[in-house]
Amino acid sequence: MMSMKNGEKTLFIFMMFALGSLIGKSQSKKKIVEKSKEPNVAQYLNRLIEFYDSNTLDIVEDEFLNLVDFGMSPKNAFGAVTHKQVINND
């Protein structure tokens, strides 16, 4: 069995910490890049203009924001309010 001196133990612990930090940093960057691809709430609000006329836009924006406030993701809330428009036109 190999015996480690104090300096070797410290170096080993430091190297493991550095390796863990690098892995954690790369995973964190990856999540930030993935998240930045998703539009934010303001961008979804701007997209609603494509689906609704100016008369109903305020009502739909309020409904969208209420859904987001109650915990729905902006993507799902946008899908919910735009899907209603498609159903109402039929």
Number of domains, the chain: 2
Structural domain containing residue 71 = 41-89
What share of the chain has pLDDT > 90, as a percent? 19
Residues 67 and 80 in one domain: yes
- State yes or no: pLDDT of 4 exceeds 90: no
Query: 25 is written with which tokens?
Result: 């940093």
Per-residue pLDDT reduced to its tens digit, 27-71? 766 666 666 677 888 999 999 988 888 888 899 999 999 999 998
**Is residue 88 pLDDT above 50, yes or no?**
no
Query: How do residues 11-27 score in pLDDT, each as one tens digit?
Result: 888 788 777 777 777 77
**Domain match, 61 and 83 both:** yes
Residues 29 and 53 reside in one and the same domain? no
Quote the pLDDT of residue 46: 92
The reply to whether 14 and 33 lie within a common domain is yes
Q: Are residues 32 and 60 in the same domain?
A: no
What's the pLDDT at 67? Answer: 92
Closest CA to 43 of 19, 71, 21, 68: 68
